[in-house]
Amino acid sequence: DEGQLADEFGHCHRDLQQYRASAQHAERSLQLRAPGFARSRLFCRVVLATARLGLGELDQACALGAEAAQQAMEMRSVRAVEYVRDFERRLEPYRDASAVRTYRDRVAALS
């Protein structure tokens, strides 16, 4: 369906470091995908967070990442946790930024 296709495009553009296109497709996928597709929506939210990070939108990236981290903890999906960990590795160059410290505090509080 169109939501799944947008999700795939979001992933592809993220992998190609085409973050603006990745964000557009990820946002479209989130609009189209029903709440029942919780795990797919989580993956897409992490792709969107990564795209926002690539665009230099650190606050928004961290907010999206924190939402995804909370959802990953609730659903106990190994793959979901892997997506969140990948996002966290991408945050490493920004570890001293306020938004990243806030993100880490929020995620630590979930444990």
Catalogue all structural domains in the chain, each as residue range(s) with its CATH number.
Answer: 2-110 (1.25.40)
pLDDT digits (tens, 9 = 90+) for 2-16: 999 999 999 999 999
Q: Which of 59, 63, 21 is nearest to 45 (CA)?
A: 63
| CA gap 96, 111 in Å, rounded | 22
pLDDT digits (tens, 9 = 90+) for 51-105: 999 999 999 999 999 999 999 999 989 999 999 999 999 999 999 999 999 999 9
| CA gap 74, 18 in Å, rounded | 30
Q: What pLDDT sits at residue 110?
A: 83
Please give the DSSP secondary-structure letter assigned to residue 34: -
Look up the pTM and report it.
Answer: 0.95
pLDDT grade, residue 50 (50/70/90)?
very high
